[in-house]
Amino acid sequence: MDIVVKSRHVEVSERFRSTAHEKLAKVERLDPGLQRVDVEVSKELNPRLADRAFRVELTCRGRGPVIRAEANAEDKFAAFDVAIGKLESRLRRAADRRTDWKKHEKSGPPVQATTVDGYAGVSVDTDVDQWNVPDDGPMIVREKAHEAAPMTLDQALYEMELVGHDFFLFVDKDSRMPSVVYRRRAYDYGVIHLNVDG
């Protein structure tokens, strides 16, 4: 498994790199199919946000869906520890789900989305390649198009939880409509369907 450490607005010490490699090597036992883990460390330059100035984002890529976790803290080691705790929890959840599907093979395998950059039909990127400001419209930061296999609402909720976002764009398997599932208060979810026929 490859571990790639990147940083923005902060220098990453060799001590942090070796700690990250040591701790992330242990998560491979939760998913032997992991091929790569990206670690991105960034620092918020605003002094008012000193208590959460460091942000660590972990992204696991392998044969299955992409699994992400992120955390903020006042130092990068603390942020890393919180993020890896979330990551391990999500990897365990994914492993449990794989085990459940193996036990119930009669019902068929789970619908797998075609993913690029870890998202089915949507890419959330914090890096800005170029600012494109048309004279007569809104600023477009980045535009991407991805292939997406239709999936059930249950699978979309599962994928949303694995990437740790508050929304997930997908194509509904039953209606074939572009849809978004999103988190509401507490454990409530909402779904928006787009009717493209009329």
pLDDT tens readout for residues 115-141: 334 444 443 443 444 444 455 556 667
pTM value is 0.55
Q: What is the pLDDT of residue 138?
A: 64
Q: Name the pLDDT band for 66 (thresholds 50, 70, 90).
A: confident
Q: For the chain, where do the domains classified as CATH 3.30.505.50 start and end?
A: 111-198
Question: Over 90: is that where the pLDDT of 40 sits?
Answer: yes
Q: For the chain, where do the domains classified as CATH 3.30.160.100 start and end?
A: 2-105
Quote the distance between the C-alpha of residue 39 and its chain's center: 12
Q: What is the pLDDT of residue 128?
A: 40
CATH code for the structural domain at 2-105: 3.30.160.100
Q: What is the pLDDT of residue 103?
A: 57
In SS3 terms, the chain reads as CEEEEEEECCCCCHHHHHHHHHHHHHHCCCCCCEEEEEEEEEECCCHHHHHHCEEEEEEEEECCCCEEEEEEECCHHHHHHHHHHHHHHHHHHHHHHHHHHHHCHHHCCCCCCCCECCECCCCCCCCCCCCECCCCCCCECCCCCCCCCCECHHHHHHHHHHHCCCEEEEEECCCCCEEEEEECCCCCEEEEECCCCC
CA distance 42 to 53: 8
CA distance 124 to 117: 9
Architecture of domain 111-198: 2-Layer Sandwich (3.30)
**φ and ψ at 93, to 5 degrees?**
-60, -40
